[in-house]
């Protein structure tokens, strides 16, 4: 039987959390973010192997965090990531290639971020099912509920005071005012999440084609679906979930803590030695 595997990236710096170490090692209900994400991948019942990518200097710490995580029921290992998210995913894919058995090929590969620790097992199953139903590339997405504006520099007639070429306005307490140039129709917009799912051969081909972009953050793809789009291949959206929020700030971490406290129905929400 073909199997689904996952690359889980855990290299975010955590600078905006003020941690001084990768965000994936931040604690949520006494379990690391990377532990939460990995255990929920396992709980889906779809994933047969997980490769976690981490910075070289934190390989041991990430490994220890996963060793301490309950609910990791499939083989996993930690490998060194790269200088960009794209390069880290490529390193994870290379590690999976090394372990693939000809008798048990991979049909689906998920790419997930430890920064989205509460993406549910149901969401994982939904993405895998969509790929196996024939969608070669699948991303979870949420409708955009905020009004979205396009902006540009402030024109001299666009605000009180005298504008300059940078958009600042003399006498204004805001040195970087921007002027609204339009309102975007949000109907076709989706805020994309992870895990993203792909047909195994398609993602390998997409990364091979985009290889030259991977070694510089300025050119690297910010998500894997954009590499597939660059091939001219279609990408499809399944329903995402509010709980799969991305942890970037201390506010995000506090919201995630509330979500865990209100559900607490997952092994990683009950760390070893607690009830």
User: What rounded mean pLDDT belongs to the chain?
Assistant: 90
At 163 the pLDDT is 46
Report whether 141 contacts 65 (CB < 8 A): no
Tell me which residue has tokens 């921007």.
178
Domains of the chain: 3-146+191-269 (3.90.550.10), 148-184 (no CATH)
- Could you give the CA distance from residue 72 to residue 84 in angstroms, rounded to a whole number? 27
The pLDDT of 204-215, averaged and rounded, is 95
Q: Per the structure block, which two tokens stand in for 90?
A: 């490529």
Segment 247-264, tens digit of pLDDT: 999 999 999 999 998 876
Task: For 226-247, give the DSSP string.
Answer: HHHHHTT---EEEE--TTS---
Residue-wise pLDDT for 162-171, tens only, equals 445 554 555 5
Nearest to 191 by CA among 120, 134, 239: 239
Taking residue 77's Cβ as centre, other Cβ atoms within 10 Å add up to 13
pTM: 0.89
Would you state the pLDDT for residue 264? Answer: 63
């Amino acid at each position: 039987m073909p199997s689904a595997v996952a690359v889980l990236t855990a290299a975010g710096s955590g600078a905006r959390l003020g941690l001084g170490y990768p965000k994936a090692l931040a604690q949520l209900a006494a379990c690391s973010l990377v532990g939460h994400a990995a255990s929920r991948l396992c709980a889906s019942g779809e994933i047969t192997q997980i490769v976690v990518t981490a910075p070289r200097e934190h390989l041991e710490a990430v490994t220890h965090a996963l060793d301490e995580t309950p609910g990791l029921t499939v083989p996993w290992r930690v490998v060194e990531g790269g200088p960009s998210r794209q390069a880290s995913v490529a390193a994870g894919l290379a590690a999976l290639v090394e372990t693939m058995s000809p008798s048990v090929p991979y049909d689906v590969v998920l790419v997930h971020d430890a920064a989205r620790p509460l993406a549910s097992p149901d969401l994982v199953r939904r993405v895998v099912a969509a790929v196996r139903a024939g969608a070669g590339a699948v991303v979870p997405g949420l409708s955009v509920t905020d009004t979205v504006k396009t902006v540009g520099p402030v024109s001299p007639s666009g605000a009180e005071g005298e504008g300059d070429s940078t958009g600042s306005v003399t006498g204004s307490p805001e040195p970087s005012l921007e002027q609204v140039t339009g309102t975007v129709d949000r109907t076709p917009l989706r805020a994309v999440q992870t895990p993203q799912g792909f047909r195994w051969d398609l993602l390998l081909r997409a990364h091979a084609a985009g290889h030259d972009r991977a070694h510089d953050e300025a050119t690297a793809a910010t998500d894997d679906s954009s590499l597939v789009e660059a091939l001219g291949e279609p990408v499809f959206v399944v329903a995402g979930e509010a709980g799969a929020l991305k942890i970037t700030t201390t506010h995000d971490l506090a919201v995630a803590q509330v979500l865990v406290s209100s559900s607490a129905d997952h092994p990683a929400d009950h760390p070893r030695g607690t009830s």
